[in-house]
Amino acid sequence: MITEALVLSAFLFVLGTFGVLVRRNAIIMFLCIELQLNAVNLSFVAFSRIHGMDGQIFVFFVMTVAAAEAAVGLAIIISIFRHYETVNVNNFKLLRW
């Protein structure tokens, strides 16, 4: 049972990572990050079957942080969009040498 859950979790995490690395759309990258977070959440829940409730409690923390992050991140993306009228991260290269 736990093996299948961890395999699924690993698959989702890798999927999210590839999404962050290869996509240029800020919203998509954001969704991929959420995917990674939830992959981790899945592992936590799966491991809590062996190690007790700590993992499940931690999942709540992660979800809370993810919600806050979504709020702030979306706000930033909206203001970027208002400025550049695009959410393609290739256009945001101000912080460089």
Partner 1 sequence: MHASLAVILFQGGQAAPAAEGAAHFEPFYPWLIVLLPLLGFVINGVLALRHAVASADAVRAGGELDLDEGGRPSTHTLPSLVGPGVLLLAFAITLVNFSRMLGAHLEAPEVIRYWTWMATGTFSVDVALQLDQLSMIMMMIVTGVGFLIHVFSVGYMKDDPGYPRYFAYLNLFIFFMLVLVMGANYPLMFVGWEGVGLCSYLLIGFWFSDREKSDAGKKAFIVNRIGDLGFLVAMFYLYTTFGTLDFEPIFANAEAALIYGGGLVTAITLFFFLGAAGKSAQMPLYVWLPDAMAGPTPVSALIHAATMVTAGVYLVARSSVLFALSPIASATVAGVGVFTALFAATIALKQNDIKKVLAYSTVSQLGYMFVGVGVGAYSAGIFHLMTHAFFKALLFLGAGAVIHSMHVAYHSTHSHEDAQDMRNMGGLRKHMPITCATMWIATLAIAGIWPLAGFFSKDEIIWQVAAFGGAASAPYPALYTVFWLIALAAAMLTAFYMTRMMVMTFHGENRSGAEEEKALHEAPAVMWAPLAVLAVLSVVGGWLNVSEHLRETLLGLGPLTSGWLHEWLHPITQQAQHIQEVNLGVLAESAPMFGGGEVVWAVLSGLAAAAVVAASFRFVGAQKHVPAAQDVEPTGFAKVLYNKWYVDELYDRIIVQPILTMSRFCWKVIDAGIIDGIANGVGWTARGLGWAVSFLQTGTLNTYAFILTVGVLVILGVSIL
Q: Does 17 bind partner 1 (CB under 8 A)?
A: yes
Q: Does 83 bind partner 1 (CB under 8 A)?
A: no
Between 29 and 42, name the residue whose CB sits nearer to partner 1.
29
Q: Does 20 bind partner 1 (CB under 8 A)?
A: yes
CB-count burial class (<10 Å; 0-12, 13-18, 19+) for 89: middle
Q: Look at the chain and count its residues.
A: 97
Interaction site with partner 1 (CB under 8 A) = 17, 20-22, 24, 29, 89-90, 92-97
